[in-house]
Amino acid sequence: MDRPYGLLAELTYACPLQCPYCSNPLDLSRYGDELTTAEWQQVLDQASELGVLQLHLSGGEPLQRRDLTQITRHASALGLYTNLITSALGLSAGRAEELRAAGLDHVQISIQADEALLSDRIAGTPSFQRKLTAARLVKKLDWPLTLNVVLHRGNVDRIARILDLAEELGADRIELAHTQYYGWALRNRDGLLPGRDQLERAETVVRAARTRLQGRMEIIYVLPDYYSRHPKPCMGGWGRRQLTVVPNGDVLPCPTAHEVPLPRASVREHPLAWIWDQSPVFQAFRGTGWMPEPCRSCDRRELDFGGCRCQAFQLTGDAARTDPVCQLSPDHELVAAAVRAASDPAPGPSRGAGPALIPRPHPHPRPQPRPEPHS
Amino acid sequence: MTEPARTERPRLAPHTRLSFDRARQRHVLLTPEAVIVLNDTGAAVLGLCDGQRTLAEIVAALEPGYREVPADEVRQFLGHLAAAGRVDLADG
Ligand SMILES: C[S@@+](CC[C@H](N)C(=O)[O-])C[C@H]1O[C@@H](n2cnc3c(N)ncnc32)[C@H](O)[C@@H]1O
Ligand code: SF4
Ligand code: SF4
């Protein structure tokens, strides 16, 4: 059996922002009983033993965990490549230096737009200036800087300006990733999904920028799967390369599988190696044996693994169906209808606005994070 | 493709890390998203890419066991990694 390369550690679902595209689960009540520092350290030991080489520290907002430095130091000592995925809120100068010293390899800061008004409106909290300060801090400490931007109807027309900002900040890489429709993003889909015309413009801008910035800044552009003919090879296959540990210790083959109806597996009850090798949740969609038609007899079944199980579940209620994004899926109309609605909006002056977006709420009953001092 | 010239001093890109994968017993170059599997020669070459040595010096500094590696092959290997953003070619 393949061994996993990457562990996504979702340390907490607490977060000071309220992005309406947040892929975190809607119901956060089950995840408040978070793993302790010692439990995370054990998870890292077991993951490294199992073959994991990359650790992604995420959430929620990982900086909300006061023990982030300790966890990072432990991972570094194991030789793991450590990557912090953060909104940057809470990345004060002191905190950053501490993490640098603990061996953190790489920082990815998400920004919502190229300017404060829109960025803060999307984030639901004044945060744009703090993100810029933190991005400059990352560069000052000589860390590689990757910016993450989740693209949607409300910011996809601004890619050129977002790239200008990235250049000004000295980003080494920028990941422009179209929204994936899980969690709050699915709830807000009709207001987030861009139109076909927007996508075509975006691709032109990205192509030109790649040429212009060649050798200076790497641009990673993740296409929206709703507009693709075939689904994405989700996670490189279920239980094949990656695993996710969520704040309460549950282990999932992918970071959006919380609601897929499979038996839970927790690091509090089983060793990680058993969970990877034998747990029902990891076995469920491994390989191709579970596949229905049209996947079962399709040439692409080893390329895209039938697409995303979570998306199949969320759209059809059955995780074992072909991903409806696929044009060969009998459920494709579910996706096609959403794309049509986004691309041919009702006539009127409201073109572009779409339905109002519901902000992702703060989790309860965990107390509100205390404000970080500005640096 | 941008192959290193003789005067360039290749250096691993800052977001990469050379490592040994104990579970699978092989050398790897790690980046946030990718794991690039290296053979022993590749790992030895990258271990010498410190931004100080030129290509010629890297070839000369290879351990006796790898000495027969032709400079052209090393240049090509580094050129591929440079094109993928894994190696920086700083002119010196
Ligand atoms: C869930 S967030 C957690 C880390 C941190 N709170 C942040 O937002 O940067 C992890 C990464 O996923 C991105 N993200 C969040 N929701 C997404 C969605 N629906 N589709 C694609 N990317 C998403 C964020 O921008 C961030 O880069
Ligand atoms: S609300 Fe935004 S910042 Fe917070 S976890 Fe979700 S995507 Fe990250
Ligand atoms: S039918 Fe299944 S395997 Fe074939 S392209 Fe569609 S999702 Fe992939």
**Residue B43: inside a domain:** yes
Task: Tell me the residue type at A51.
Answer: G
In tens, the pLDDT along A344-354 reads 866 544 445 66
The CATH code of the domain that includes B59 is 3.90.930.60
Residue A210 has pLDDT above 50, yes or no: yes
**Residue B30: inside a domain:** yes
Residue of A nearest to B27 (CA): A53
**Residue B89: inside a domain:** no
Against a cut of 0.90, is the pTM above it? yes
How many CB atoms within 10 Å of residue A248? 18
Look at phi and psi of residue A237 and say left if phi exceeds 0, alpha if psi is from -120 to 50, else beta. Answer: left
**Residue B91: inside a domain:** no
Mean confidence (pLDDT) of chain A: 93
pLDDT at residue B84, rounded to an integer? 85
Task: Tell me the residue type at A81.
Answer: Y
Residue A372 has pLDDT above 80, yes or no: no
Nearest to B24 among A48, A49, A51 (CB): A51
Nearest to B28 among A49, A53, A215 (CB): A53
**Residue B87: inside a domain:** no
Contact B21 A53 (CB under 8 A): yes
**Residue B6: inside a domain:** no
Q: Ligand 2, residues A15, A23, A111: which to mutate, most atoms within 8 A of Cβ?
A: A15
In tens, the pLDDT along A121-132 reads 999 999 999 999
Domain that holds residue B56: 11-80
Interaxial angle between packed helices A309-316 and A333-343, expressed in degrees from 0 to 180 and rounded to the nearest 10: 80
pLDDT at residue B6, rounded to an integer? 67
Contact A172 B28 (CB under 8 A): no
Residue of B nearest to A216 (CA): B85
pLDDT at residue B49, rounded to an integer? 94
Give Cα A79 distance to the centre of its chain: 24
**Residue B88: inside a domain:** no
Low pLDDT (below 50) residues in chain B: none
DSSP string over A85-125: EE--TT--HHHHHHHHHTT--EEEEE-S-SSHHHHHHHHTS
Average pLDDT over residues A215-223: 91
Average pLDDT over residues A172-197: 96
Contact A143 B14 (CB under 8 A): yes
**Residue B52: inside a domain:** yes
Residue A3 has pLDDT above 90, yes or no: yes
* Chain B interface test: which of A3, A81, A241, A272 (most B C-beta within 10 Å): A81
- The total number of structural domains that make up chain B: 1
